[in-house]
Amino acid sequence: MTNSALRREIVSTYVKLKAVVDVIGHYAERRDYWERTRYQEEFRDREVAKEEIENWAERIRNSIPDLEQEISGLLVDIRKYLGSPKTRSSRPD
């Protein structure tokens, strides 16, 4: 890829998406733990854990529209790049 601005945009979007996936993975484990222990008498922090899980879920839900817009714009830029005469002549068939 010869377009450094597009490459930076791709990497930036990838990093954001990876962070979201990593956060989801982390809190999915927390949610599983909460599900297993929430009815146990000695699990005193159930409300704290529940609030933590609900907060992260809300933040993830709120970030999705921004990520969708970013990805849509990135796809437009990638299509333009791939369709430009400069890149068509340098791509192997």
Question: pLDDT digits over 12-61, tens only?
Answer: 999 999 999 998 888 888 788 778 777 777 767 777 777 888 888 898 89
Overall average pLDDT of the 68-92 stretch = 80
DSSP assignment string, 35-80: HHHTT-TT-TTHHHHHHHHHHHHHHHHHHHHHHHHHHHHHHHHHHH
Model pLDDT, residue 43? 67
Q: What count of other Cβ atoms lies within 10 Å of the Cβ of residue 74?
A: 16
Domain borders along the chain are 4-83
Q: What is the pTM of this model?
A: 0.68
